[in-house]
Each structure stands twice: as C-alpha cells, then as structure tokens.
C-alpha cells in the first residue's frame, strides 16, 4: 500500500514540477509532511544531501524517501513515479507532438505557470532562511546565533571568492564549506559557552 502511495505521490511531483530542482522542493515538502514521512528537520537535511550527491535532485529525493518508507521496492517505485511523467511526455513530444511547445494554449498555460513557480521558489527560500535564523512561530523567535554566523560566512564565501579567483562558486563547494563552517562555529561557540 505504501508503495502505491509513494508511486502516486511522486508521479504527481514529476507531472507538476516545472523549472528544475528548486521548483519541486515545495511540492515534495508538502507531500512528506502530509504523510509524516519526514520531519521538517529531516527534510532540510535531505535537500542538503541531494544537492551534494550526483544526479537529478528529484530522483535523489524519491529514492531516499521511498527507501525509508518501504525499503528497496519503495525506492524503486518512488523513482519510477517521479521519472515516468517526463519520460512519457518527452516521448510524445519527440515522436508525434513536435509542435506542442508552439501551441498557443500550451504557451498560455506555461506563461501563467512560470511566475507561480518563481513565487513558490522565493517563498520556500525565504521561509527556510527565517527558520534557520530562529523563527519558530508567530509568538516565538529564538535567535540562532550559530546559524546567523554561518550565513554571514557563507555570504562572504559566496560573494568574495568569485572576486578573488574570478570563478563562480558551485553548489558542491558551497555545501562543503557550509558543513565545515557548521562544525567550526558550533564547536567554537560551545567552547565559549554561548551554546548550552
């Protein structure tokens, strides 16, 4: 049963995710919270893992969630679910419907979808940023000095390094740096007694 739900839910993600990895994060987040498959914390950890391992993020997420909920069969079915819509649609486009992307109704649909996706991406990023800084609920804000320090270090790394070396910072170096900063800052603050 879980396997079928996994397949169905990831099929939906595959069918409605436009605009690459970041666009599907809100969809997957709603799904894993709805079924209590992952806690919020676990979900954000998982995004970090999926961004720093090779391959498409959606496939990585499907495999992981599937495996933790229903073992090897679950990971296979969730992955199949997320891949199948793209596979079928592209087969259609490549074989018979070459003009799909020139169809005015389809173009109209996409013109309405793109700004929505962008809104979803920005709200997801902004909410996560607020939460890392210590937002708990409307009545509770526990300022997280560790995360604030790490964010400042990340911003420095991200904006200063390209100026010094002339190269853009990719996702993997950024994540590796953030992991090192996470350990360094936590240990330092613990030693200074800022963290209990």
Partner 1 sequence: MLLSLFSVFFRIGLFTFGGGYAMIAQIREEIVEKRKWLTEGELTEIIAIAESTPGPLAINLATYVGYKHGKVRGSLAATVGVVIPSLVILYLISLFLDSFMENRYVAYAFTGIKCAVAFLILKAGLDMLPTLERRPVPLILFFTVFLLMILFELFSVTFSSLLFILGGGLIGMLLCAVGRRGEGRK
* Gyration radius of the chain's alpha carbons: 20
Nearer to partner 1 by Cβ, of 138 and 164: the residue is 138
Instruction: Report residue 140: phi and psi, to 5°.
Output: -130, 125
The smaller minimum CB distance to partner 1, of residues 4 and 49, is found at 49
Q: Say how far apart CA 191 and CA 186 lie, in whole Å.
A: 9
Spell out the residues 6+ positions from residue 148 whose beta carbon is closer than 8 angstroms to its own: 133
Out of 7, 32, 64, 77, which residue is the one contacting partner 1 (CB under 8 A)? 64
State in angstroms the smallest separation of the CB of 1 from partner 1.
20
Q: Is 85 in the site for partner 1 (CB under 8 A)?
A: yes
Residue 2 found at the interface with partner 1 (CB under 8 A): no
> Could you give the CA distance from residue 14 to residue 128 in angstroms, rounded to a whole number?
23
Give yes or no for a contact between 62 and 75, defined as CB atoms under 8 angstroms apart: yes
Site for partner 1 in 122-151 (CB under 8 A): 122-129, 132, 137-138, 146-147, 150-151
Structure token pair of residue 65: 């969630």
Restricting to residues 91-120, which ones interact with partner 1 according to CB under 8 A? 91, 93-95, 100-101, 104-120
Q: Which of 2, 35, 83, 161 binds partner 1 (CB under 8 A)?
A: 83
- 30 binds partner 1 per the rule CB under 8 A: yes
The Cα 122–Cα 145 span in angstroms is: 23
Q: Which among 50, 45, 63, 42 is positioned nearest to 22, based on CA atoms? A: 50
Residue 77 binds to partner 1 (criterion: CB under 8 A): no
144-183: contacts with partner 1 (CB under 8 A): 146-147, 150-151, 154-155, 158, 170-172, 174-175, 177-183
């Amino acid at each position: 049963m879980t396997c079928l739900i996994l397949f169905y839910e990831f099929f939906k993600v595959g069918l409605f995710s436009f605009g690459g990895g970041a666009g599907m994060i809100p969809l997957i987040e709603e799904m894993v919270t709805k079924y209590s498959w992952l806690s919020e914390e676990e979900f954000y950890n998982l995004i970090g893992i999926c961004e720093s391992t090779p391959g498409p993020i959606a496939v990585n997420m499907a495999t992981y969630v599937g495996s933790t909920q229903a073992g090897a069969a679950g990971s296979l079915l969730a992955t199949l679910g997320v891949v199948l819509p793209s596979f079928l649609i592209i087969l259609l486009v490549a074989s018979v419907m070459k003009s799909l992307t020139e169809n005015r109704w389809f173009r109209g649909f996409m013109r309405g979808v793109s700004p929505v996706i962008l809104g979803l991406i920005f709200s997801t990023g902004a909410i996560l940023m607020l939460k890392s800084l210590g937002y708990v609920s409307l009545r509770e804000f526990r300022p997280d000095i560790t995360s604030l320090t790490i964010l400042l270090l990340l911003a420095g790394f991200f904006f200063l390094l390209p100026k010094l070396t002339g190269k853009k910072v990719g996702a993997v170096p950024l994540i590796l740096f953030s992991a090192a900063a996470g350990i360094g800052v936590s240990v330092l603050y613990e030693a200074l007694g800022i963290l209990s």
